[in-house]
Amino acid sequence: MSKVKDEKLAVKGEQELEWARINMPVLAQIRDEFVKNKPLRNIRIATCLHLEKKTGILLETLAAGGASVASCSCNPLTTDDKVAAALAKKMEVFAWAGQNDKEYYENINHVLDTKPHIIIDDGCDLIFALHKDRTELLENIKGGCEETTTGVTRLKAMERDKALKFPVIAVNNAYSKFLFDNRFGTAESTINAIMVATNKLLAGKTAVVVGYGWCGRGIADRLKGLGANVIVVEIAGTLGTDQSGFHRALEALYSGYRVMSITEAAKYGDIFITATGNKHIINSSHFPLLKNKAILSNAGHFNVEIDIPALKEMSKNAREIKDNVTEYELKDGKKIYVLSDGRLVNLARPSGQGHPIEIMDGSFGIQALSVKYVAENKLQPNVHDVPRDIDERIAELALLAQGVRLEKPTPEQVKYSQSWEEGT
Ligand SMILES: NC(=O)c1ccc[n+]([C@@H]2O[C@H](COP(=O)([O-])OP(=O)(O)OC[C@H]3O[C@@H](n4cnc5c(N)ncnc54)[C@H](O)[C@@H]3O)[C@@H](O)[C@H]2O)c1
Task: Kindly give the number of the ligand 1 atom that is closest to the alpha carbon of 212.
Answer: 39
- Helices 101-112 and 125-132 pack at an angle, to 10 degrees, of 70
Residue type, 229: N
What residue's CA is closest to ligand 1, atom 38? Answer: 213
H or E segment to which residue 146 belongs: strand 143-146
pLDDT at 354: 87
Asked if 152 and 386 count as a contact pair (C-beta separation under 8 A), the reply is no
User: Contacts for 255-258 with beta carbons within 8 Å, 24 or more apart?
Assistant: 255/220, 256/224, 257/220, 257/224, 257/230, 257/231, 257/232, 258/230, 258/231, 258/232
Asked if 209 and 220 count as a contact pair (C-beta separation under 8 A), the reply is yes
- Helices 53-64 and 10-22 pack at an angle, to 10 degrees, of 80
- φ, ψ (nearest 5 deg) of residue 146: -120, 135
pLDDT at 424: 57
Centre of ligand 1 to C-alpha 182, Å, is: 9
Asked if 303 and 342 count as a contact pair (C-beta separation under 8 A), the reply is yes
Ligand 1 pocket mutation, candidates 182, 248, 301, 304, criterion most atoms within 8 A of CB: 182
105-137 pLDDT, tens per residue? 999 999 999 999 999 999 899 999 999 999 999
Nearest to 211 by CA among 146, 291, 289, 306: 306
What does 146-163 look like in DSSP terms, one character per residue? E-SHHHHHHHHHHHHTT-
What does 170-214 look like in DSSP terms, one character per residue? EGGG-HHHIIIIIIIIHHHHHHHHHHHHH----TT-EEEEE--SH
**Rounded distance between C-alpha atoms, residue 231 and residue 269, angstroms:** 8
Centre of ligand 1 to C-alpha 211, Å, is: 6
Domain ranges of the chain: 7-177+356-401, 184-342
CATH topology (fold) of 184-342: Rossmann fold (3.40.50)
Ligand 1 pocket mutation, candidates 215, 286, 360, criterion most atoms within 8 A of CB: 215
* Class (C level, CATH) for 7-177+356-401: alpha beta
Centre of ligand 1 to C-alpha 352, Å, is: 19
Nearest to 127 by CA among 103, 156, 99, 101: 156
pTM: 0.87
Q: How many CB atoms lie within 10 A of CB 278?
A: 15
Residues 6+ apart with CB under 8 A from 12: 82, 86
Residues 6+ apart with CB under 8 A from 29: 397, 400, 401
**Rounded distance between C-alpha atoms, residue 253 and residue 350, angstroms:** 35
**Rounded distance between C-alpha atoms, residue 222 and residue 232, angstroms:** 13
pLDDT at 423: 60
Residue type, 67: A
Are 7-177+356-401 and 184-342 the same fold in CATH?
A: yes
Residue type, 347: L
Asked if 358 and 27 count as a contact pair (C-beta separation under 8 A), the reply is no
Centre of ligand 1 to C-alpha 213, Å, is: 6
Per-residue pLDDT of the chain (424 residues; tens, 9 = 90+): 899 999 999 999 999 999 999 999 999 999 999 999 999 999 999 999 999 999 999 999 999 999 999 999 998 888 899 999 999 999 999 999 989 999 999 999 999 999 999 999 998 999 999 999 999 999 999 999 999 888 898 999 999 999 999 999 999 999 998 888 899 999 999 999 999 999 999 999 999 999 999 999 999 999 999 999 999 999 999 877 678 999 999 999 999 999 999 999 999 999 999 999 899 999 999 999 999 999 999 999 888 999 999 999 999 999 999 999 999 999 999 999 999 999 999 988 889 888 999 999 999 999 999 999 999 999 999 999 999 999 999 999 999 999 999 999 999 999 999 988 766 5
Count, residues in the chain: 424
- Helices 214-225 and 186-198 pack at an angle, to 10 degrees, of 50
Centre of ligand 1 to C-alpha 337, Å, is: 22
Ligand 1 surroundings by CB, under 6 angstroms: 149, 181-182, 186, 210-216, 233-235, 239-241, 245, 248, 275-278, 281, 299-301, 344, 346-347
pLDDT at 422: 63
Centre of ligand 1 to C-alpha 23, Å, is: 28
**Rounded distance between C-alpha atoms, residue 399 and residue 405, angstroms:** 7
